[in-house]
Chains A and B, each alone.
Chain A
Amino acid sequence: MLLLILKRIGLGLITLFIVSLITFVGVEVLPGDACTTYLEREAYGAALDACIKRLGLDVPAYERYLDWASNVVRGDFGYSLSGEMPINEVLGPRVKNSLVLASVSILIGIPLAIVLGIITALWRDKLPDIMISTITIFSMTIPEFISATLLILIVAIWLGWLPGIVIIPSDATFYELLSNIILPVVAISMIMTAHMARMVRSSVIQVMASDYVQMAILKGVPYWKMVFRHVLPNALLPAINVVALTIAWLLGGVVVTEVVFNYPGLGRLVIESISNRDLPVVQALAIILASIYVGINLIADLMTLMLNPRLKSLQIRK
């Protein structure tokens, strides 16, 4: 068991290492280096020399990678070109803002998805299922920027209930954030909930068709007792992994949503740093976002392992 956990963590670290290599090599191989890209037409003479000196572009690439990687491991991402300050200082408030947005969305989204998934599964092909399933299909297929734009158009412009665009500095306090994130949270959790509800639905349907549930029905176990004692624990377990993958996949959607609502999080920083051609920040973001992805998957793997006694014994036998 412990060995298995260590192995999973090891694989995650290897993945991160490859990601760092890919981003580093990608920036190296593609035309232009950090300095010429950043300075664009002013990339000559003293300015270029100074920039090259500052970023250490005059040393060989592998040395730079080792240098950069060892700093990243110690939690130092280097200097931002456009902000002229340590990347850590740029990242700090952004990470916090995105965390607030993401955790509020997840806190609303996961319970809602479980409830909706169960309802649609238990009333399969009946009116509640048809209605909820149609809505979930719509909200999971329509691109984030469209649902966000429509939310602004309907709620903020036509109805005038909420401000459409978030106007807060990136170092806003927690309470300032909370009052401003209603629409972004709705936009993100809508898509997330739809994806997860569909998975919970099919998982519950699968378990409902299994032999032991049929047995419970034949034995005369009361319907709701059967649902809560026998169906749900077995149905929600396999959904954990899929939910984790979905959350990780939605990172890209969060970027778009943050841009639409002008929300000062990591996502908008991605766009800003790429528009400013600030490659050191882009590299840092790639590592951070990939770590989030790997981390979420790792947690999901471990949770499934711990919650599933069958898998545990299986691994011991191996």
Chain B
Amino acid sequence: MESNLITEDKQKNKLEKAFEILKTMASKPSGLIGLTIVLFHIVLALISPYIAPYDYKAISPNTMLLAPSAEHWFGTDSLGRDVFTRTILGGRTALTVTFFGSLIALLWGGLLGIFCGLVGGKIDDVVMRVVDAFLSIPWILAMLLIVSLLGTSTEVLIPALGFFYGKGIVRVARAATHDVIAKDFIVSARARGHSNMSIIWNEIIPNVRDAILVEGAMRWSWMLLGFSSLSFLGFGVSPPTPDWGLMISNARGLMSFAYWSVIAPIVGLSSLIIGINLTADAFAKALGIDRSTKAPV
């Protein structure tokens, strides 16, 4: 009975804490702007299939390259498809892929990092060498290789992105674990006879969670950048999926007289990336983590 009360209390505390962090983030203009943009994009991604005025893949020779008008707010592209429809649906693609990708990256990167930090010694050395080696292959080459050998589909893209953006999280999680592991409460948990699993779950994870989450938030924006770059190069999602990178690369050749079909996805993608970045920065500051001197590796 009593333990129940304590957990309930804890839950409430967690919610309150989360709310407080949100409040701190929104108290500065940059954080507020970031949160607003991200929220706007998420809501838009959720409702876009219901509010899209046209079919995103309906090709029509009669409506090719129309300038923005009352019927077509953002004009039409070279195949006569409505740019507004494709732009709002493009956010859905980008957010879905990068959300699941970041989740995978957080999970495997975080767990491997904590494991390495905990065991130390030879295993740690070897794993970190391999992670370093993976870090030194430019991400774009590795991603292109995987995609070209396994094909372009979200089932390939999401795990591949998750894998390559997770390797940086390994380092952060490992460093954070190293910081925690020498502290007294770990030693006393050991002395109380707690198992390794229980120490990881109850002592280490609560203490390294913030650092890993902040890193994950940053990775999210880089992953979005990487994913749309891949699409732009023709190695991301395949047409006719509405995707910003793909839209920009298709419309680029015609932008001297139909700039609207390139401007709309550019605004969509740039605003989302800037929004995520501002949010991640505010998140880091609210948790008291300084990222400003870190290299983007």
A residues contacting B by CB (< 8 A) are 14-16, 18-19, 22-23, 26-27, 30-32, 37, 137-138, 141-146, 149-150, 152-153, 157, 195, 198-199, 201-203, 206, 238, 241-242, 245-246, 248-249, 251-252, 255-256, 259-260, 270-271, 274-275, 277, 282, 285-286, 289-290, 293-294, 297
Contacts and interface: CB of A to CB of B under 8 A. Distances in A.
Nearest to A134: B30
A152 B274 CA distance: 21
Interface string B135-160: 01111111011101110000000000
Nearest to A145: B232
Contacts of B293: 199, 202-203, 206, 238, 242
A15 B129 contact: yes
A256 B232 contact: yes
B289 interface: no
Contacts of B146: 26, 30
7 contacts: A32-B149, A141-B221, A143-B229, A195-B296, A238-B293, A270-B141, A290-B137
B232 A255 contact: no
Contact of A249 (B149, B248, B295): B295
A255 B138 contact: yes
Interface stretch (B56-64, B81-89, B184-192, B252-260): B252-260
Which one of B235, B269, B274, B293 has the greatest number of beta carbons of chain A within 10 Å? B293
Contacts of A274: 144-145, 148, 235
A141 B225 CA distance: 8
A167 to B, nearest CB: 15
Contacts of A157: 255-256, 259
Q: Interface residues of B toward A: which range?
A: 35 or more
Contacts of B266: 146, 149-150
Contacts of B221: 141
B141 A286 contact: yes
A181 B3 CA distance: 68
Nearest to B135: A293
B7 interface: no
Q: 9 nearest interchain CB pairs?
A: A245-B295, A18-B133, A252-B140, A202-B292, A30-B149, A293-B136, A242-B295, A251-B138, A290-B136
A138 B270 CA distance: 9
B228 interface: yes
B280 to A, nearest CB: 10
A22 B294 CA distance: 27
A144 B144 CA distance: 17
Contacts of B133: 15-16, 18-19, 22, 290
